[in-house]
Amino acid sequence: MLVTLFGVAVVVFVVIRVAPGDPIAMMLPPGASDADIARLRALYGLDKTLVQQFFIWLAGVLHGDFGTSISLRQDVLGLVFNRLPATLELATVALLMAIAIGVTAAILGARSRGTAVEAGIDIASGATLSIPDFLWGLVLILLFGVLIPVFDISGRVSPQLDLPFVTQFYLVESILRLRFDLIWDLLKHMLMPAVALALPLAAIIAQLLKQSLKEVLDLDYVVLARVKGFSETQVILREALKNAALPTLTLVGVQFTFLIGGTVIVERLFSYEGLGNMAIDAVINRDLPLIQGIVLVFALLFVLVNLAVDMMYALLNPRLRHG
C-alpha cells in the first residue's frame, strides 16, 4: 500500500518535471528581468536537481506540507481540503445510487429468471455498461437540462442562496441542520453528475449480483427455505442476498475507484466545484505542486477504498471470520 503510494508519487513527479513548459514563465509578466525569474525559481525550489526536489517535496508531504500552488498562490493542502468534500459527497451519492439501482435490478432479474424481464435487464445492463460516464453525462444534460429542464446542469449550489455552512461538506451539513431547501438545491445540482457516474457501476452490480443470486438460489439451504413456504422475494432477501453479495463486493470496490476517477471529467462537464475540476485547471495552468497534491490525494483515496473493501470482505465472509 505504501509502496503503491510512493510509486504514484515518483511517477507523477517524474512525469511533470519532464514537461517542457515553464510554470515560472507563465506567472511573470513579459519583460521580467532574469533576476526576477531566478528569484521565483528559487522560491519554488525549481533551481535544485530533480532528486533533491523530489525528496524536499516528499519530506514536506510527510509533514503535511504539500507546497504552494503556483497559479492560485495558496497552500496546496488547504486547496485540496477545500474541494475534496464536494467530490466525496458526489462520489458517495453516486455509489449509493449505483447500489440501489444495481441491487434492485439484480433481485428483479433473479426473481424472474428465464423470463423476458430478465432478458430485458440483461440487455439494458449490457448497453448501460458499454457507455462511459462522460457520455451519460452529456445525455443527461440534453434530456434533463435542455429538453425537460428540471435539474441544474452546472455548479454545486445556486449562487444566490445564503450559505450557513462552516465546513465544505454542504450536503452533510444541510442534512444535519435539517435545511430542506438547501438539501433540495444541492441534490438538484448533484443528481445528474451522480447518475452519470452511477449508471455504469449499477450495470456491473446488476449483472454480477444477478449471476451470483442465480447460483445461490439452486443451493440446498435456499431450496429448504422455499419448501418452508417463503415466497421467492423473501427467499432472495432473507437467505440468498447475504451470500451472493460477497463476490460482488470485491468488484464494487475496484469499480468504485473507477467511479472516483470518473469524477474528474464529470465534474468538468457539470462545472461542479470539486477536486477533479480543479485538477484539470491545475494541469492546464501547469501548476506542478497542485497537480502533485491532487493526484496523490486521489491515489490515497483509491488505496483506502481497496483497504476498506478488504476489511469488509473479511468481516462478511464467515470462512475468514472464524478462520
Partner 1 sequence: MDEARTSRRGLSPRLWLAGGWLILALAAATFAPLIAPQDPLAQDLMLERLPPFWLDGAESGYWLGTDSLGRDLLSRLIFGGRIAFIVAFAAATSACLIGSALGLIAGYFGGWADRFISRIVDIWMAFPPVLFAILLVAVLGTGLSSVIIAIAVIDWTRFCRVIRAEAMSQARMDYVESARIAGYGRIGIMLREVLPNVLPSVVALLSLEMGIAVIVEAILSFVNLSISTDDPTWGSIIAEGRLSIHQAWWVLVFPLITLILTVLSFSQFGEGLKARFDPVLR
φ, ψ for residue 68 (rounded to 5)?
-115, 135
Show the DSSP H helices in the chain as ranges: 2-17, 23-27, 34-43, 50-62, 76-111, 116-130, 133-140, 170-176, 180-216, 220-227, 232-235, 241-269, 275-284, 288-316, 318-322
- Least distance to partner 1, CB of residue 60, Å: 20
Site track for partner 1 across 299-318, x = CB under 8 A = x--xx---------------
Q: Out of 46, 172, 280, 312, point to the residue binding partner 1 (CB under 8 A).
A: 280
Contact between 116 and partner 1 by CB under 8 A: the answer reads no
Task: CB nearer to partner 1: give 110 or 225.
Answer: 110
Give the number of residues in contact with partner 1, rule: CB under 8 A: 49
User: Is 244 within 8 Å of 111 (Cβ atoms)?
Assistant: no
Binding characters for partner 1, 237-266, by CB under 8 A (x = yes):
--------------------xx-xxxxxx-
- Please list every residue from 175 through 214 that binds partner 1, using CB under 8 A: none
Cα 105 from Cα 206, distance rounded (Å): 6
Q: How far apart (Å, rounded) are the C-alpha atoms in residues 234 and 240?
A: 9
Q: How far apart are CA 65 and CA 62, in angstroms?
A: 7
All cell numbers assigned to 315: 468481516
Smallest separation (angstroms) from partner 1 to the CB of 224: 28
Which of 106, 205, 222, 295 touches partner 1 (CB under 8 A)?
295
CB 320 within 8 A of CB 313: yes
Closest distance of CB 121 from partner 1, Å = 12
Where do contacts with partner 1 occur on this chain (CB under 8 A)?
3-5, 7-8, 11-12, 15-16, 18-21, 122, 127, 130-132, 134-135, 138-139, 141-142, 145-146, 257-258, 260-265, 268-269, 276, 279-280, 283-284, 286, 291, 294-295, 298-299, 302-303
